[in-house]
């Protein structure tokens, strides 16, 4: 699966972004550029789905895909070969990275410890070492147990049925990976490395396949009413991802009060480029944010028309196409604002 994701990213980025752009996307870098790229190139589904990926590992994957004749590498850029293009249509994904990238780590820990705890207690195994060393998660599981301590065996049966229902919508390998990953009474869950060896796949495939399962689980459970009451507990409190950084929120506070760049820079002791990045972040996630104080409506239209005429999102090309009339900041801001408006605010962001 990981190869298919990389090929999809290469296709969507159209050699207008480097391999580093793919790395920042997959690891979920919370920067205005990465967020804007995710939306502009329609790869937001993959945002943050492999936070532990290293640059070196990604480079090895790209070299391998090149060796198989699926992509062509040109320095830091990649493009698909005809053979690579044929493979793209063979896979479909149910990721929703921008919405769920912050949810999955918490969900995974909750589910793993909940299964271990309830299955162990259901067989009177009261002494065991928790597989999750996270105080917040442990406290959450204790709370669930306290509310269900008299019906532990029924709880386990119901949780098993709910998981079985979710996994029936996944591929066989995905269902098996999650099943063997879980620790229960007398059963030790396998590590990513052990799972990779057992199914003869790369550990990065294990990672994204399991991520895929959790994304599917969240979507199904959120979309149901009372069909998955126990799994609903596992996603309790996991609201829509706040895709604007805390630093950008503070800048937004001053922008809304009419402060100038210079005033914000002095107050926050930040570079002008950093303040500009923050404003682009705001434009990406705040539906009613006006950018007219930075770019007039007429100039916005000109920038958009030029980008469409050139059929590119590469800032340098648009900058040159406009005869250097506008700054890179104005171009980025315009594209960010209007791609957000056109998609109806589908970044699901919040500044609250």
* CA 40 – CA 261 distance, rounded (Å): 26
Q: Do 47 and 101 touch, CB atoms closer than 8 A?
A: yes
pLDDT at 349 (0 to 100): 36
Q: Is 262 exposed, middle or buried (0-12, 13-18, 19+ CB in 10 A)?
A: exposed
Look at the domain 2-94 and name its fold: Arc Repressor Mutant, subunit A (1.10.10)
* CA 105 – CA 196 distance, rounded (Å): 20
* CA 318 – CA 331 distance, rounded (Å): 8
120: enclosing H helix or E strand: helix 103-122
The pTM of this model reads 0.84
Query: pLDDT by residue (tens digit) across 5-16?
Result: 999 999 999 888
Q: Is the pLDDT of residue 3 over 90?
A: yes
* CA 294 – CA 91 distance, rounded (Å): 42
pLDDT at 93 (0 to 100): 87
User: Domain locations in the chain?
Assistant: 2-94, 103-234, 246-342
Q: Is 134 exposed, middle or buried (0-12, 13-18, 19+ CB in 10 A)?
A: middle
DSSP code at position 14? T
Report residue 89's pLDDT band, with 50, 70 and 90 as the boundaries. Answer: low
* CA 237 – CA 318 distance, rounded (Å): 42
Angle between helices 103-122 and 203-223 (to 10 degrees): 90
pLDDT at 241 (0 to 100): 64
Query: pLDDT by residue (tens digit) across 141-150?
Result: 999 999 999 9
* CA 163 – CA 97 distance, rounded (Å): 21
Tokens linked to 276: 């500009």
Q: Is the pLDDT of residue 151 over 80?
A: yes
Query: pLDDT by residue (tens digit) across 171-211?
Result: 999 999 999 999 987 889 999 999 999 999 999 999 999 99
pLDDT at 213 (0 to 100): 96
Stretch 48-75: mean pLDDT, rounded? 95
> Who has greater pLDDT, 207 or 35?
207
Cα 107 from chain centroid (whole Å): 14
- Give the contacts of 103 (CB within 8 A, at least 6 positions apart): 214, 218, 235, 238, 241
Stretch 150-169: mean pLDDT, rounded? 95
Q: How many CA atoms lie within 13 A of 62 on its CB side?
A: 23
pLDDT at 286 (0 to 100): 84
């Amino acid at each position: 699966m990981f190869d298919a994701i990389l090929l999809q990213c290469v296709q969507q980025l159209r050699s207008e972004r480097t391999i580093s752009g793919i790395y920042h996307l997959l690891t979920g870098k919370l920067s205005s550029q990465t967020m804007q790229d995710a939306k502009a190139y329609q790869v937001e589904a993959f945002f943050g789905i492999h936070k532990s990926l290293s640059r070196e590992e990604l480079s090895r994957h790209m070299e391998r895909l090149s060796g198989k004749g699926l992509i062509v590498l040109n320095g830091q850029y990649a493009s698909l070969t005809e053979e690579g293009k044929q493979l793209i249509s063979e896979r479909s994904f149910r990721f929703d990275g921008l919405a769920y990238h912050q949810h999955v780590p918490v969900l995974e820990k909750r589910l793993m410890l909940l299964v271990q705890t309830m299955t162990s207690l259901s067989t009177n195994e009261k002494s065991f070492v928790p597989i999750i060393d996270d105080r917040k998660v442990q406290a959450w599981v204790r709370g669930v147990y306290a509310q269900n301590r008299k019906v532990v065996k029924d709880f386990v049966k119901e949780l098993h049925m709910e998981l079985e229902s979710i996994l029936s919508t996944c591929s066989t390998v995905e269902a098996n990976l999650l099943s063997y990953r879980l620790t229960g009474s007398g059963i030790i869950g396998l590590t990513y490395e052990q799972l990779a060896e057992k199914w003869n796949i790369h550990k990065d495939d294990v990672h994204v396949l399991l991520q895929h399962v959790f994304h599917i689980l969240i979507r199904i459970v959120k979309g149901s009413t009372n069909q998955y009451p126990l799994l609903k507990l596992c996603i309790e409190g996991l609201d829509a991802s706040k895709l604007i950084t805390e630093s950008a929120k503070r800048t937004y506070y001053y922008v809304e009060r009419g402060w100038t760049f210079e005033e914000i820079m002095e107050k926050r002791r930040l570079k002008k480029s950093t303040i500009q990045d923050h404003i682009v972040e705001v434009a990406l996630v705040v539906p009613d944010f006006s950018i007219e104080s930075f770019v007039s409506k007429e100039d916005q239209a000109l920038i958009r028309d030029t980008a469409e005429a050139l059929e590119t999102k590469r800032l340098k090309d648009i900058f040159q196409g406009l005869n250097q009339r506008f700054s890179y900041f104005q171009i980025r801001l315009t594209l960010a604002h209007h791609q957000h408006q056109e998609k109806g605010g589908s970044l699901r962001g919040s500044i609250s």
